[in-house]
Amino acid sequence: MRSLHLIRKVSDLLAEESIRAEALDGPVAVILVQDGVLNHTLFPGEVFVNQEDLDARAQESPHPKIDYREIARLVLEYDRTVVW
């Protein structure tokens, strides 16, 4: 099962542990949104970051930047979506 995780906080240990464990069983992707764009954890799988949230916080990121339209497309593409 392909899972998409949206991270809204700077730090969420439960989310990080769950994503790592889930990655052992199948593909995962992470989207950093809101204050999650400040999260510098090394997540398994693909990691994306919301461009608007980066701009609002005057931050840069090495991850691919996406907008809300792309987030909606990814939610539909994955089997399961979890918001942390």
Number of structural domains (the chain) is 1
CA distance 23 to 19: 6
Supply the pLDDT for residue 77: 97
Enter the pTM of the model. Answer: 0.95
Supply the pLDDT for residue 49: 98
For residue range 25-71, list pLDDT tens digits in order.
Answer: 999 999 999 999 999 999 999 999 999 999 999 999 999 999 999 99
Supply the pLDDT for residue 55: 98
Domain that holds residue 79: 3-83
The pLDDT-based confidence of 13 (bands split at 50, 70, 90) is very high
Q: How far is CA 43 from the centre of its chain?
A: 9
The CATH number of residue 56's host domain is 3.40.1260.10
